[in-house]
Structure 1
């Protein structure tokens, strides 16, 4: 059931730090400012919209993060310090607005760039004692006073498609528009396994028990720093009782009566699409 998801990039070599011969390697870069990416609107959907070749002045940039390599080419993120630094002819757009506008490989690079620039900007000082941090060779930061280690934040979250015979459980979040339904999701808490988190989230949000939890796929989700781990599970008991806060409506739906649900830019759309295709094969 494992599938390749948007924002994942198996072609990118994440090995860190930079290779010893980095100065002699071809390079490209993505410009980021306050969570937005600088694009050339005239070149959509070409990858050159955001990916630019040959960093001539990388040593003069104050905020630079190495993203990884694509073959021989080294990829960097440049953190802009003001809107005035946006390259001529380009404009800033939110990462979400690039979904469906550029190829998946470049979108994954942009997602990684936004997250690593955010880490650089939010880890300048120690969260324990306030002292300026030092950069380590493995991308982490260290406080020279109290030895606190800091690494890019990653928040694991489970997302669960629950089935009861030929129906699927879909719910409407208070954060969604009025006609969008999706599967149950939530963050993993300290001390939990992923399976335990899936059981807890379904019980908390809709009051149902689940069983036969099995892995579907995972997806990096840079809004702002999540890793979505998708599961499929079977209904094991209970009546739907929404919490009224996070979830304001939930119901069982057959393939022929599905409401509007997220597209396949997110793993939730892939889960529902898997259910539809599974039921189609039965008929």
Structure 2
């Protein structure tokens, strides 16, 4: 049983400057909920309520978002807005949230190292804080089920166009089923001709605690950072690793175009304004 999750959320978000100069990119809203709330909700929906968020300088807004705001609650009580009041209170009760600050931005692998004392000797989930998964069964739950079946670390993957494999961490290996691959190699942003497949790492992991020893042995890699992919390559020499092709759609909120697409797609799913919004989009397209 996976009881703990880690959400790395320490990056600068430079691709969204100046919007992220004074607020975390993980707090950029999709309609009326910040990105990281969707991520925390996925962990909770997967049965995990003990969550460590790795933050950095300027990320205090994340803590404030999930904390109680008594003044706001009092104002909502006075306005007799019970639905919104209940939602605000649910935010602070949805999980046991803990925070630790990454002192220097030395890569995803370095961020994961900060979770060692919180995780202890247990397997744990990792959910990237700027990636939203839209799925019927939470993607983290899908990985937990695969871990329960095979017992090794599990990486979420998705197919990407072959000409774009150099943008991602790519896995290769032997198919065990339609969804499961036993990994024999991982490459961070390979050249197109050297890529072992077109299966890209998709921002969700189940990792065994042995990953921490591997991270300590991992030298700085691309961009002079500690790459989690490099540490998992070391882990592969000690235990089996598996890839799970996700059922659902990944939304990379760290990318401006995907952020816009995600906002539109989520808006079209909201019953209170989906029809009017669709009509608005159709009107715009007719004028093009």
Is the pair's TM-score, using the shorter chain for normalization, greater than 0.5?
A: no
More helix by share: 2
Flag the structure with larger Rg.
Answer: 1
Where on the TM-score scale, by shorter chain, does this alignment land: which range? Answer: under 0.3
Greater RCO (Cα-Cα under 8 Å, separation 6 or more): 2
Instruction: Give the alignment's TM-score, normalised by structure 1.
Output: 0.25
More strand by share: 1
